[in-house]
Structure 1
């Protein structure tokens, strides 16, 4: 007997098993939502990601792909065991009518097996449920797990649905927000690096000019760029100026970790402390 499985999440673009047929189509009466928490693929227990599940909704349509499992009964059972392990956080397996034609006049083509993560806290403790769209987008943009960034899961799903000629407003809205957030983060990191380089140069120049550094005859620290891009580590070089301590503090400020002049002074950077005092804010990216 043929066994069909319906994919509406990662199974759409990465099934991971042998199939003898792949048929685009849809199921009815269910809506795809990013309500399921994920701690082992696209997130961690400390910072869960979000993946899709289905919620019942009259007149809703969810597009995806139906796969007919390849092989004999033994091989198909092996594939089912693989799917049960892969979808282990999805506590419901249901048989649903699968359609290939959007018209109501056409009967369903086949019955498909669908994995659903329910909102039952006993059988599915990872369920996150609804949240403001912006909050879900931020969670997806910042979560990552062994299988990669949570954002990759979302954007791959959107791309795969687009390849099918399908549109999902929930997926599209989240993808637009996450893409914007990722762009802002990338820009912020680039600006932070640029800011850190510039203020490190100022710190080195100030140190050499005032004679505070062992290499005070130099007007610019020869290792300024190394300092600027490695502020997370203690300086092990022999540049002979105060840039290593100062750059570390300024790098932390650029990422929003230092916002107080007193803290900047304790961190060893008078340049940063003076800037915060004069501007009421640290040197940071927009």
Structure 2
């Protein structure tokens, strides 16, 4: 397979809710079988699997702790074997902490870095090895963050991990392109998901004056972008980081001019 061909099998980590669930369903709607993982919410993963199967696609579910290194890679290997291969790998699992730099503990740092960067490396590498061995090419897609582009006070470990993951994906585009494998980062801004404390909230009803489009994003909007990146139409996109943030990243000078207190300096 070259990256221009139709994908048949995908793996989406953290597919039990939010962006992961929406992505698994969007890929299934495109006719792709999906292996999805869960960390603590097995019920949520089974609900996602049911939605995938409702679209006529196959669903395989496995528990995954990305911070369990290198065992997390064995879970990916198992899913690949059960699916019969992998054409698209979506690294979506992640975590973060809002802790000032001077108060951040080494354990907190390690938990975020292991989950968001080192574990991601292990899982991406297992998927890439399988793609190269199969000789069909493939897509590696990492859900990063606008914080892979711009920092936020208190998000020290998260910012460092996402910057690192963005850099890793650029390198994968260089190293794996010769095998027909593309590597792309998807960098969401504020998306209405459980991770942002907005479970089951309608983002179209929320007011966000600091975002040019005036609202948070919908997980299905991010999923639609990922599904496009997995399609033959996106075959020539590699090494890019695509922000999906309602224009948030463009607010630097505008927001800086509007801020009238030093409250932003604290978490």
Q: Give the number of the structure whose residues are more often helix, by fraction.
A: 2
**Higher relative contact order structure (alpha carbons within 8 Å, sequence separation ≥ 6):** 2
**TM > 0.5 fold call:** no
Q: Give the number of the structure whose residues are more often strand, by fraction.
A: 1
Kindly name which structure, 1 or 2, has the bigger radius of gyration based on alpha carbons: 1
Normalising by the residue count of structure 1, what TM-score does the alignment of the two structures yield? 0.22
Normalising by the residue count of structure 2, what TM-score does the alignment of the two structures yield? 0.23
